[in-house]
Amino acid sequence: MTIKEACQSLTGEIVKWRREFHRHPELSYAESRTASVVAGMLRQFGLDVREGVNGYGVVADLVGKIPGKTVALRADMDALAIVEETGLPYASEVPGIMHACGHDGHMAALLGAAQILSGMRDRLRGSVRFIFQPAEEIPPGGAIGMIEAGALDGVDVIFGLHLWSEFPVGTFYTTQGPMMAAADLFTVTISGKGGHGGLPHKTVDSLVIASHLVMASQHIVSRQVNPLDSGVVTFGLLQSGSAFNVIADKAVLKGTVRSFDPVVRDLLQGRLEQTAASIAQMYGARIDMDYVRGYPAVINHEREARAAMQEAEPVFGAQHVGIMQPNMAGEDFAYYLQKVPGAFCFVGAGLPEGPVYPHHHPRFVIDERALPLATEWLCRMALRYVM
């Protein structure tokens, strides 16, 4: 039986597992039921299973007969605080929680690969490590703690995938180099001195100072970042003032900074902090900035991204495998790629006839025909290194 045939014949099971996860979603850092279901199945497949890795992480090794490389495959396990509105017969049974990002499908597809590959153990030259990671959705995320707990020890190369509803089922996309952005968050609090709207000389006007900060920050990307690099500084919130004739004593601004290159990331943060400090000094207000770093950028390694596309061709057909534009969403797979070579890839899961709802939407659905394709690609990636 070929890998393709093995995946097709396992489709019913994979879909059943996915629906089972879909019925029982759990929030980030609380995936206890999910983790024990996953671990139980991996044990049934005969793998060496470690549970409780950085919370609810599960790591399982398939050790081949002959020593060789170790290839890691990763799935995430968490769901979101969303009230499901799909009306599906297997919709969430947990009020207010929904698998609205496809992580249920990631687990099912990877379990399918674990079952198929475990049946080939005698022919494997090396090991396959299956990483089921908690808490992808909420920084600091599960990946970093799993790496600290040894999830990547001995790993030569790693791959992961995201089912993606905005690409139609039957397609596969990735890219060499920057793929998803580093996404940081900041809050600025400006403390001035309030007063009478007709007596501005007796105040320190926080609202005017906030306006200056917003405008001055527009120079950061347009005049301080190399035009051939990319970055975003967005102010998404500005709150200040209470009445038409009162000068505001306080202003609060919140925003996000996005980048791909770590040097650009440092530059954006540094310039934003300097701009705020200079404006504070110029106008005599106090400006406090709380800058929180989210996940770093997902940077695919070139050789491994090429390998991922090569293995995708027999699965999806060469005409359905493409290079995607970098995506400004974040993903903590980034941390694995900082440690070992690998690539993160998107597997199309959109219904060809629509409607297509974005990830994290209450009506988000995937086309389950994507699942055996994802399993097949995962199997092929593993076998590329251990067969």
Residues at the interface with Ni ion (CB under 5 A): 101
At residue 58, φ and ψ (nearest 5 deg) are -130, 130
Is 78 annotated as catalytic? yes
User: Measured at CB, which residue is nearest to Ni ion?
Assistant: 101
* Residue spans of alpha helices (H) in the chain: 3-23, 32-44, 103-118, 142-148, 206-219, 262-283, 302-316, 333-339, 370-386
What is the radius of gyration, based on Cα positions, of the chain?
24
User: In the complex, what is the shortest distance from the CB of residue 125 to Ni ion, in angstroms, rounded to a whole number?
Assistant: 33
Rounded CA gap, 129 and 106, in Å? Answer: 15
User: In the complex, what is the shortest distance from the CB of residue 349 to Ni ion, in angstroms, rounded to a whole number?
Assistant: 12
76 vs 156 by CB, closer to Ni ion: 76
Selected catalytic residue, list 26, 76, 78, 249: 78
How many residues are there in the chain? 387
Selected catalytic residue, list 26, 31, 104, 136: 136
Taking CA 129 as the corner, what is the angle to CA 125 and CA 135, rounded to the nearest 5 degrees? 165
Rounded CA gap, 242 and 145, in Å? Answer: 44
User: In the complex, what is the shortest distance from the CB of residue 381 to Ni ion, in angstroms, rounded to a whole number?
Assistant: 19
Rounded CA gap, 348 and 168, in Å? Answer: 5
Tell which residue, 335, 351, 315, 383, has the closest CA to residue 7: 315
Rounded CA gap, 23 and 82, in Å? Answer: 13
User: In the complex, what is the shortest distance from the CB of residue 362 to Ni ion, in angstroms, rounded to a whole number?
Assistant: 15
User: In the complex, what is the shortest distance from the CB of residue 103 to Ni ion, in angstroms, rounded to a whole number?
Assistant: 6
User: In the complex, what is the shortest distance from the CB of residue 78 to Ni ion, in angstroms, rounded to a whole number?
Assistant: 9
Rounded CA gap, 235 and 240, in Å? Answer: 14
Q: Which residues contact 91 (CB under 8 A, 6 or more apart)?
A: 22, 23, 84
Q: b/e per residue, 212-249, with b = 16+ CB within 10 A?
A: ebbebbeebbeeebeeeebbbbebeebebbeeeeebbb
Please identify every residue annotated as catalytic: 78, 136
